[in-house]
Structure 1
Amino acid sequence: MSYQAIPVTFALIARIPAAGVADFTAYEDAVLPLLPEFNGRLERRLRNSDGTIEIHIVSFASDADFQRYRIDPRRTAQAWMLERSSAKLEMLPMSDV
């Protein structure tokens, strides 16, 4: 029996206080370039005019790839910026229809 990875897709909704936009942007600039190393892809990135709401559609080749991205030390080392931004995040697993 051969193993077939099942791709996963997430919609991330970030609500960022105006005072945290710069920290949130710096965090994203640091961690989004890591995605390809984990078979991840930023499909779409949307932002409102003042930067206080951002929506990402992100996909990974498998849940294991996503989990490896989440625990990567280069990513976790940047978590202080995300915390300082006071962003409220909602991550939703999604499927193509």
Structure 2
Amino acid sequence: MTLPSEKSPSAGLILVAVVEMAPGHAEAGQRYEDAVLGLLDRHGGVVERRLRGTDSATEVHVIRFRSRAGYESFMVDPDRLTCRAGLGEAAPTTRVIEVRDLGTPVHGS
């Protein structure tokens, strides 16, 4: 089995985003995430997995971009910035972690 590496163009850029909704604004934060995740395809990005905490206050996204340039263009997308500015204090906070795929998970017995 071969694993994608940073030098492999097929690997692209894989990110994990941990999104914390502003207290009392979970629904607004979720609508924002719906909207901005819908912009990914114009930048060569795709959501591979979207998970929501059982309390609805946190989301975790696994996102893949074809290139770092795609991620950078997503971050400055005018539609994304307008959406975020419109939320004001209801805007979620996000921690983004660049990760690499280690291949098939190993399950214990």
TM-score, L = length of structure 2 = 0.76
Amino acid at match of 1:85: A
Q: Which runs of 5+ in 1 are unaligned?
A: none
- The answer to which structure, 1 or 2, has the higher relative contact order (CA under 8 A, 6+ apart) is 1
Match of 1:10 among 12, 15, 25: 15
Deviations for 1:3-59, whole angstroms, at most 9, x for unmatched residues? Answer: x85610110111224402012112112111111111100000000122111100001
- Measured after TM superposition, the shift of residue 87 of structure 1 is 2.7
Match of 1:79 among 64, 81, 84: 84
Partner of 1:54: 59
1:90 aligns with 2:86: no
Bigger helix fraction:
1
Q: Secondary structure at the match of 1:51?
A: coil
Tell me the percent identity: 27
Q: Which runs of 5+ in 2 are unaligned?
A: 1-7, 103-109
1:43 aligns with 2:81: no
Aligned-residue CA RMSD (Å): 1.8
Equivalent residue pairs, number: 94
Runs of 4+ that moved beyond 6 A: none
TM-score, L = length of structure 1 = 0.85
